[in-house]
Amino acid sequence: MNEIYNLKLYNSLTGQKELFKPIHKKYVGIYVCGPTVYNNLHLGNCRTFISFDIVFRYLKYLGYKVRYVRNITDVGHLENDLEDKISKKSRIEKIEPMEVVHKYTLSFHNLLNILNVQPPNIEPTATGHIIEQIDMIKKLIEKNLAYEVNGSVYFNLKEYEKLYSYGILSKNKIDNLFKKKLNFSLEKKNPQDFSLWKKASSSHIMNWNSPWGKGFPGWHIECTVMSTKYLGETFDIHGGGIDLKFPHHECELAQAKAIYNNKSNFAHYWMHTNMLTLNGKKMSKSTGNFLEIKDIIQSYKKPFFPSILRFFMLQSHYRSVMNFSNQGLINAEKGYNKIMNSIKILKNFSPKISKKNNNIFDVSHWINDCHKAINDDFNIPLLISYLFKATHFIHSINDINIEKHNINLLKKYMIHFVFDILGLQEKEKKIENNYLSSEKKLRILIHRLIKFHMEARKQQNWIISDRIRKELSYIGISLHDEKLF
Ligand code: AMP
Ligand code: ZN
């Protein structure tokens, strides 16, 4: 059976692996919670964004037209009811909150670009959707599922429970939640009622006018608003780190159900990536237990090429906890080099024999196995083991043990899996693309054109060769060809 259209995803909502069927044939809508932009990314964040980059790349590879929406949380949310992360940073760095947001949004893009993470199709910001958030909150109040107190608005979980069931994603029972004695604001009706809108204190710089006075939106509402605005009331995949499952995703889901009265659970498939740990503890900025990309790629002890870091992240399944270690990186580098060398061998190898002979490596079977691994809820570690199997064979290829057709197939799929789906990059290519000056790039381009012109002449393709000569003459480069015959 052709494995390619048999993608199964582990759905956190049902706790099962399910066959992926998009709502609209050929189209996929995916929403992933983006970062709060008050700091540089740490490696843990990168793991999550790389995991969803692979999902995005693979869905496109399967031929779907994908709309990938990943938000930017640029409204500060209260950390300890006193000061939010963005305001705190603006105080420490002595810059405007919006400067903090801009600075770290640029840094976020730059860091993901270093790791070859493709940008989403839409990257909406919370501050760009204040009107829509206020609208949604108003509707929740109209439905008696939210209430206002002293300029703040809260989601009413007891009322929601009368119509729907809270906790279906995280499997938290509402009665147990209510039993927990939380240190909560006295203005809430129930301790677990979450904020939709918060009244701004006089010192809170990031605030907006609303029907309830000056304030700012709660965290969960932005994602319900932006996901449904760009993907519809129900969409295919919602993703994020597992630490967001509760309360953030549970609250997003409750808000969506409350607004759209739907039974379809907002997103059909929920995907949660597990945590990257350091010394056995979750990487996190707030605890200081983290590493940044620069610690790896600019390390004074041993700098690693960014694709090696990316390859390291792919060694564990996205639903397993992964611990960061230097030895792990060193091993990843060896593996990365092996794979890249084998691709070089493939690129330079042109078999002369095209008749059927004894293939000791069944390429079609191997391609099927690779697809099977990815289709099994993105079992990338298994895919990598198949890549190594191919690598092993590639190092032994010669004219006798592989036919022309199969070598071309192997080359094509190694390139698909390694570059298109896993998003790894060759060192030379990366250097060429990103680090060369425009002048150097231009020189390379002109050389390539001249080479192309000479090839055309050798093939007596005078139309092309003359055209290139003419185009080059427009920019002042004249070619003086020697006689060929
Ligand atoms: P934040 O800016 O904290 O909301 O994080 C952005 C994304 O990174 C979220 O999807 C988080 O779940 C994810 N994330 C945060 N810490 C880690 C970690 N240690 N390992 C993997 N993902 C993480
Ligand atoms: Zn979110």
CATH number of the CATH domain containing 189: 3.40.50.620
Kindly state whether residues 210 and 79 are assigned to the same domain: yes
Whether the upstream peptide bond of residue 247 has omega within 30° of 0, thus cis, is yes
Kindly state whether residues 373 and 396 are assigned to the same domain: yes
- 396-399 long-range CB contacts below 8 Å, 24 or more apart? 397/345, 397/349, 397/351, 399/351, 399/352, 399/353
Q: Is 244 in the pocket of ligand 1 (CB under 6 A)?
A: yes
Kindly state whether residues 436 and 405 are assigned to the same domain: no
Q: Which of 223, 247, 273 is the last residue of a domain?
A: 273
Ligand 2: distance of its center to the CA of 235 in Å?
15
Strands 215-217 and 195-199: antiparallel
Strands (E), 189-312: 195-199, 215-217, 235-241, 267-273, 276-278, 281-282
Predicted pLDDT at 355: 59
Ligand 2: distance of its center to the CA of 220 in Å?
6
Query: Nearest C-alpha to atom 8 of ligand 1 is from which residue?
Result: 45
Q: Which residue in 422, 417, 425 sits closest to 366, CA to CA?
A: 417
Return the percentage of the chain with pLDDT > 70, whole number. 92
Tokens coding 112: 């993901």
Ligand 2: distance of its center to the CA of 32 in Å?
7
Kindly state whether residues 186 and 302 are assigned to the same domain: no
Kindly state whether residues 453 and 362 are assigned to the same domain: no
Predicted pLDDT at 15: 97
Give 220's Cβ-side CA count (13 Å radius): 21
Kindly state whether residues 227 and 321 are assigned to the same domain: no
Q: Which of 273, 296, 312 is the last residue of a domain?
A: 273
Q: Which residue in 75, 80, 134, 82 sits closest to 105, CA to CA?
A: 75
pTM of the model: 0.87
| Number of structural domains in the chain | 3
Kindly state whether residues 58 and 132 are assigned to the same domain: yes
Predicted pLDDT at 481: 73
Position in ligand 1 atom list of the atom nearest CA 35: 2
- Please classify residue 384 by burial: count the beta carbons closer than 10 Å to its beta carbon, then call 0-12 exposed, 13-18 middle and 19+ buried: buried
Low-confidence spans in the chain with pLDDT less than 50: 431-432
Q: Is 47 in the pocket of ligand 1 (CB under 6 A)?
A: yes
Q: Which residue in 297, 300, 366, 367 sits closest to 333, CA to CA?
A: 297
Predicted pLDDT at 401: 64
Residue 406 lies in a domain: yes
Q: In whole angstroms, what is the distance from residue 124 CA to residue 370 CA?
A: 35
Residue 253 lies in a domain: yes
Predicted pLDDT at 443: 79
Kindly state whether residues 367 and 458 are assigned to the same domain: no
Predicted pLDDT at 474: 85
Q: In whole angstroms, what is the distance from residue 449 CA to residue 19 CA?
A: 48
Q: Is 40 in the pocket of ligand 1 (CB under 6 A)?
A: no
Q: Which of 399, 421, 443 is the last residue of a domain?
A: 421
- Mutating to test ligand 1, I would choose from 42, 48, 246 the residue with most ligand atoms within 8 A of its C-beta, which is 48
Kindly state whether residues 145 and 96 are assigned to the same domain: yes
Residue 4 lies in a domain: no
| Residue given tokens 């006798």 in the structure block | 400
Tokens coding 102: 């801009």
Residue 55 lies in a domain: yes
Q: Which residue in 379, 278, 289 sits closest to 329, CA to CA?
A: 278
Are 167 and 173 spatial neighbours (Cβ–Cβ below 8 Å)? Answer: yes
Ligand 2: distance of its center to the CA of 68 in Å?
14
Predicted pLDDT at 265: 83
Tokens coding 386: 């198949």
Q: Is 167 in the pocket of ligand 1 (CB under 6 A)?
A: no
Give the structural domain span for 462.
431-474
Predicted pLDDT at 451: 87
